Structure 1
Amino acid sequence: MRFWNSLHTKFFLTYSLIVVAIILLVCMPMYVYLKNNIEKNTISRFDETASKIKDRLDERVNQFDVLSQLLYWSSISNDSPAVNYLNGLASSQDFYERYQLRGALKSFVTMLSTVYPDAVNIRLFTMEGDLISDSEDDPTSVGPYGQYEELKRIAATNGETLLSYESRDPWNTANAYPVFVFSRMLLPWETRAGMLEVMVKADELVDLETLRQIKGAQLNLFFGDAIIYSTDSGQKGLTQAQRQEYGRLKQLSSGEKYPFMAKSFGDKQYVFYKLNDPSDFSVMLTVPKKVVFASLVNFRNVAIAAMLLLILISVALFYILSRILTRPLKQLKRTIDRISLDESGEQLNMDNKYEMDEIHLINRSFRNMSERLKNSLEDTVRFRTLQLQAHFDMLQAQINPHFLFNMLGFIQSSAEDRNLNQVSALSQNLLGFFRYSISTQSPIITLEKELAFTIQYLELMKIRFVDKLRYRIEVDPMLTNLVVPKLILQPLVENSIQHGFNESTNSLEVVVSAYIESAHWIIQIEDNGVGITEQRLAAVIAKVEDYLKQMLSSAEGEGMSQGGMGVANSMGRLKFMFKDNFAYEIENREDVSGVRIRLRGPLRR
């Protein structure tokens, strides 16, 4: 029973079952949705392949029709169409006249080839065997058309478009690439004027590279019921069953579903069929069903494996997580039992709705701990706060004598020089300075008042250094009411003045600026003095860090002594006020000589 009441066991079993249920509820609908989309996209891809071939075929047929019409209606010269030139060439016996007619037809065919660059060759044949081509490599005569099966087939079309496939150019052996040949008999006024033949590279009409990537795919191009091209070299014609299936495909309305399962073209083959009604050309792409859905099968296997792997990882993760979460609870119980303080205070009762053993133990231990710690913890916090405040009050009082000795010495010097106006001004400013610094009304103040006090100090220093000291104050008006510890800027400005001057320094400028940056306030003190060496800079930063560590600990003595005045003291009070949200930088300026001290804190405490 204790095993089943364990938080570890209940946590592991409960969350494992929840995660498995969530995975199944999310993954199953997602799998069905993706499966349907993959199936749809796969079929659409093959259907698009067949459509592209059909569209290319339609485009070439239309171009061929336009070329044919140009021969009938486009005049070469003297308003005479090209077909008349063919008749004249076939009937003329005069060498010079034949030369002119052939040249005119050659120029016309060359012009057509520039208008239709997709055509590899455009050829005209007369009934007497003359050949006019846009290629200089073609022969000029092939003999009467009755000697060639190709020309005999053209003559039998009675003016209709004929499409055929040739593994190479039959008239020019130099062209060793496969071509599709569009041809027709030219019959102006029911008279056989000649034949037109246009060759297009096979790969311009059929994307053979894409078809090769489809394993088991077969492409058939039909003219009527006859196969004019097939990617299967053994496919010479249709069987009786295939003819019936092909006839059914041609009669299907456009509203019926594609693709079709046509077993007569192979076991479990999908047929993608496209028909060009006017020209009776059609495209049939057959793909094995297992190839069509190969990606879907792969997706199913990957999805099942991923789902099982996700379940196993989730179960293992929750098992480890449950151990991680329950182990600290037991350790906490043992730690609490070791605490020994005077017992007092109220008892702490924790809810144990699910009757878990660990909660029973923690509940009992916390009741004992709360009685011992409540009062002692409050007293400790109160004592430490008062102790730190007392140290800061002491350090504030220590700032004044150091500055007082300096200024009294300067007043004495001015009095000896009988500079009474300067003595009076120094005395009045010094009176206001000490009235502010020794005031104990509040340890915090607005930035506006702190800057006013700092300006008063700088004015005292200007009287002392005459023209050698300049200063600028640049403050964002939105920061005037920012609450900061009292007397944080004057020690930093004093540090800049004390360490910025040297024997070669003619003047010193101190710039105090305050602005807002990314929801933080920035206070910056810069001078153009002699700067600080890297070794000295590292020592100053180390001293400040050591001061902050000792201030935040319970140690007394060195960290809070008078040696911690100046920069470290200001940093300490800002750290005490803003905690971890406060940051500082002390560095040499890059643009000019001098030191930059940058303070950063939150706009809201």
Structure 2
Amino acid sequence: MKFQKKIIIVYMLFSIVVTVIFGSVYYALNVRQYKEREYTNISTVSNVKLQQMESLLSGMEGVITYFLSDVDILDALQEFAVLDADTYEEMYFHDASAAIRTKLSTYYLMDEYYRAIVFNENNNVISNTNYTGMAPAINASYENYPWKDKVSNKGGKDVLIGLHEDDWGNKKKPYVISVVKEIQGMQMGYIEIQQSKEHLDQMFADQEENITYLFVTKEGELLYSADEGVEVDGYLEQMEGDIQGVREIKNEAGQKVLCLKQESKTQDMILLTIANVNIGKSAAKASLPVSILLLVGLLGLSLGYVYLTSRQLTRPIRQLQRFMETTHLDNIEAEIPEKISNDEIESLYVAYKDVLERLNESMLKEKRMSLLQLQAQFDLLQAQVNPHFIYNVLNVISNRGVLSDDEVICDICKELAEMLRYATNTKDKYATVHDEIEYMESYLKLLKYRYDYKLSYEIDVDQGIQDRILPKIVLQQIVENAAVHGYRQSAEVIEISVTGHLGEHEWYIRVHDNGSGISKERLLGIMDSIESVRNKLTYDRSNVELEIGGMGLVNIYARLYMLYTESLIFKIESEELGGTDVIIGVKECGTDV
């Protein structure tokens, strides 16, 4: 495929990607704005409807309070509670009944609410709706009243009764909601204020036909809905918990809707405001045409631009291509024969020349590295030859010891051979604590042959740290340092103890000797060297490995630090007359020790 066609295809794909990204961003912003508008609208109307219902219920509770605040009415209620009338007319025209009926039949109660009614355990009923069509049933039974248990023994608290058929209707039984209160004292009965669903439907009628209001008690019972058959359990389950703001849920038909849950601060109820709107589809209808138009426009402009500019870009690229195809090792320093008319391509040519120069330098370096690698391989082979020679010599000495019936010589050769085999194994740089202890113990046994009773040692290391990792020949170096430097000018018995413990957040090994100790000046010098090595290891590890050398405490610290870095525990505790302790260990779980 020609370069010009490639440019056209690449830029076309680029334009498609940019357009898709731009369209996605536009779509996301449009959806966000649409959601904000819908959320604000739902929140606003929900607040209004919640306040309307709170006002209605507060008014019904206020009517009950107003009714029971009258002393004469309370006296009448006491008489009414014990009234045992033989006929309904006798009960109806009794003085106590007349007083209660007069209070209930005020214009405000008659106009604002569907029914106000008082009843008691003697099945005495007084209502403010005794006219035709709304007269209460005179044979209502207190014992069979459906919500009696909800109201009784509530300490006179106002109780909300959700949407239900009017229990007192004689001919008409419309759906109503009620506020009921048990009148306290002397079993004076109950007072109920009703409001009809028809009135509520008018009050909560909304121009937004796609919004539904579900008023629910905090116990989960439906208080009011325009559709009395709605199932509220599914909505409550999806809106369970302390949910703030509008949330997208599914309605009874499985369609996505928006729902806002609000709890009343003054009444025992919750309002679920449900908006039957699919934000994703609405936003897509608004943004998709514009996105397509942007896509077509950008593609058209891009193709026209690419076609015009690709013709100018092709010529200098071909120049460079011909130059690159004719470049060989023998003409690597040649210059391009033609003047490149494009600054960017000329920069590419300059970069190509730089690559050729670096390639030439790399080839020279590779030759030098090959020589160094050959030398390293030779040194490694030489290092493997020397231990084998020493093993052979030790075997000769051991055989001579057997011939001379000297088991000590055999034991010395055995221990030394084990040490050489461990130390000259170049395959592994690291070993377990268990292997290190065995190697160190072989060294101590050899020292014992030399010093006899003047040397005593003790090794006590927890099993829990036997499988921890250390650089090879660390413990033996510390012990050797203690034996060689700690007793130079001392005739005392050499006592060396090696202990290891596993703590809650760390493990450590302590090597103690009873030697002459380290002077303060020498100890400061060692710590300064350790700090210097630590700083170098942090910034230039490879150079430090070449510079440290030796087998002293600084070398031990460096090898441990390269393995464990900041988790390393390394302490030197010494007094000039009290011996020396070298402590190495590792912090685990990121704790400070």
> TM-score range, shorter-chain basis?
0.3 to 0.5
TM-score (norm: length of structure 1): 0.38
